[in-house]
Amino acid sequence: MAPATTDDSRTKDRVKTSVDRASEIFTEKSLRFTDLRRKVFEEIASTQASVGAYEVLDRLAKKGTRLAPISVYRALDALLEAGVVHRLESKNAYFACSRLHQPGLGRRPIFLACEKCGNVLEGDGDDIFETIDKNARAQKFEPRVRFVEVTGTCHECATKHKE
Partner DNA sequence: CCGGATATGTTGCGACGCAACAATGATCAT
Partner DNA sequence: ATGATCATTGTTGCGTCGCAACATATCCGG
> Which letter, b or e, does each residue of 112-149 get, where b requires 16 or more Cβ atoms within 10 Å of its Cβ?
bbbeeebbbbbbebeebbeeeeeeeeeeeeeeeeeeee
Binding status of residue 82 toward DNA by CB under 7 A: no
* Cα dihedral 5, 99, 65, 32 sign: positive
Interaction between residue 19 and DNA (CB under 7 A): no
23 sits near DNA (criterion: CB under 7 A): no
36 near a copy of itself, judged by CB under 8 A? no
Identify the three-state secondary structure at position 49: strand
Decide whether 52 or 123 has the Cβ nearer to DNA: 52
The continuous run of DSSP H or E covering 121 comes out as: strand 120-124
Question: Residue 79's binding partner, choosing from DNA, a copy of itself, none, with beta-carbon cut-off 5 to 8 A by kind?
Answer: none
> Between 49 and 128, whose beta carbon lies closer to DNA?
49
Q: Which residues lie near DNA (CB under 7 A)?
A: 31-32, 34-37, 52-55, 67-71, 73-75, 77-78, 92-93
